[in-house]
Structure 1
Amino acid sequence: MSAVLTDNLPLLAGAPNGVKKLRELILELAVRGKLVPQDPSDEPASELLKRIAEEKVRLVAQGKIKKQKPLAGVEEAALPFELPVAWVWARLGEITNFGTTTKKDEIPDDAWVLDLEDIEKDTSRLLQKARFYERNSLSDKNSFAKGDVLYGKLRPYLNKVLVAEDDGFCTTEILPFRCHGPFVAHYFMVALKSPYFLSYVNAKSYGMKMPRLGTEDGRQALFPLPPLAEQHRIVAKVDELMALCDRLEARQADAGSAHVQLVQALLGSLTQASDAEDFAQSWQRLAEHFHALLTTESSIDALKQTLLQLAVMGKLVTQDPSDEPASELLKRIAKEKTRLISEEGLRTTARDDVPEAEHYFRLHTGWASCRLGNLARFIDYRGRTP
């Protein structure tokens, strides 16, 4: 499956929002056990689950963690999808300390303090690494340790999940957690960012303006747990494919910028046409390549704007020498305006003259320039004619 995906990355990325959808597909395949081959020699996740349970018992006995209330069992009929033979479904709160946080009364000045805005949505890139003395926030903070998974529970659809690269402190809207037994933190990050888990938390989130995932709902979440060795392989493959997505994205950004410049230049050639005949020839040349040129919404919008510009420049239709010149039309408009001023008390402040220096472009013979206030009656916000 991963080889097919890798071979078709450029093709899939070409679709609208292609790279974003590719990233989602990679994560979804990862949590379904479809991204890397299964290895029969791997210790099954059922054994890993036993070790996790034993470690929890030990930590409770030592007083390092509190005994949590039992979670609902995993019923086969309620499973979201089928996992590979060596995988198991587990409740997130069963295998991790999700929702159990530790706060410190004092935070060292040079401590790393993480806020949600420091994490980029979807990509989970760390945008900045601020120290306490730089922020000196007075609100409560959760402490975390290097290697913890940091889950943004506020507006979870933003997909902000990080693996801590150092010890630090974070806003209470970020929940640090770790597995009770051996685990690969970056696999847990992959699983929590997958479309499967996002669908779950979006359905469980509460609050209209600032939705968040409740702690108990997070603990009850069904988690696809692979063998420990496969967790490592999945993370390596995800990193490899995401790096390819980064390259495709960068290539698309460069291509997108070049495309915008190309569209602007070629459509600009239409406005440079000297007359309708010249415009018709330029239009015909461009029309033959519209299938390659007008491939984005922005390029179509640019064409619409160009057509409007061409219309007011008199380049969309052929000029007819027999037409009454606009100067005569202006005379009739001025005569009507004088009548309105005399009989209806029309007020106007628009100047009559339009110096050639103020013209936006050269007018055709027969056209004239006039201030808009001398052509039309405007109604102000009070419903009166100014």
Structure 2
Amino acid sequence: MNLHVAMAARTLNVPHLRGTGRYVQELLRNTRTSDDLSWTAYGHNPALPFRVPEKLLGRTDVFEFRGDRFHLWEQLGLPMKLRQQGGPQLLHCAENTAPIWQPVPTIVTIHDTVPWDEPTQGLERFHLHDVQRVALRRCAAVITISESSRRDIVKRWPFLADRLTIIPHGIADEFFSAARAPLPPALEQALAGSPYLLYLGGAQARKRFDWALELLARCGRDDLHLVGCGFGAGTAPLERIPESLRGRVHFAPFLEDSELVTLYRGAEAAIYPTLYEGFGFPAVEAQAAGTPVLFSPVSSLVDLVGPLTWTNEPQDFDAWLGALREVLMLPAEARAQRAAEAAAWARQFSWRRSVERHFEVYRDVVERSRHRLPA
């Protein structure tokens, strides 16, 4: 049975990919002809790039719909397209939210409940808390990415408990390749061959960039630099960098996966002081690249402790500092041994395996929807 799936892919219709966009892109990229499945990927802004894979098994449809900022593209525009065009047997809304009007069976991926936990007001609050409560009740299935996220979802929406499937993310194939791409010239020039720590997270308060700055300031290595990743254009917090660290803190631009692998592999350690994650790509990516990673075993990160992790209580700065100093003094032979074990451990996070499990959910939903139709 050839299955035709509509994918709401607004997170690919952007200048630069972020975490959810990478997830959608990998679902499309890891589809094979033998899967007997085709896509229509929908975007919402013809003025921006649409970053679908070059060899997409299917087609794209990027269309504007008046009232997009009021969520009408999602709630009216996309359902109208599906109703008018026919073809797709299933809609996958892979970006946390879904339309109330569902002309075909609909699956939603809820990555975590952070958007609902953060303060919102007005139309945004109405969309998240009222519209989505109705839309989620109508969805045929819900996918989430970790046991931690599953618990949070069920706590907020108990009626979803019996249609939730946990499917962990994978990491990009580039992390298992020996090839090295050059870093962007500006970053290469700023580092000038200096050893560095790699901060992952961006500007959100729960990611704790200040924690990374304090570790750099107090680790006892004046030759060490810090590279910050995850900051969008104009969001790098330059004002928070102490005068004593100016010249030793740099911000990476948006990187391709191959460049990111190179950045990981060159780091003395990866610093990931987040207080909550639905999945936590850096915890796996660092280990796949052979780089020690420091984080706290909170939320989904409990399940991502591997051979090359140093874990500490989230508020115990002295323990973090001690762990960083231990990593920086780790003998080369011991680091290489742990890196080999970590690379093998990280292979369980395969995008292909994740995609196959998505397809199992798709086919189950289509089969169940057929049985509900009248003879």
Report TM bin, short chain. Answer: under 0.3
Whose strand fraction is larger, Structure 1's or Structure 2's?
A: 2
Question: TM-score, normalised on structure 1?
Answer: 0.25
Higher RCO structure (Cα 8 Å, ≥6 apart): 1
* Larger-Rg structure: 1
**TM-score of the superposed pair, with normalisation by structure 2:** 0.25
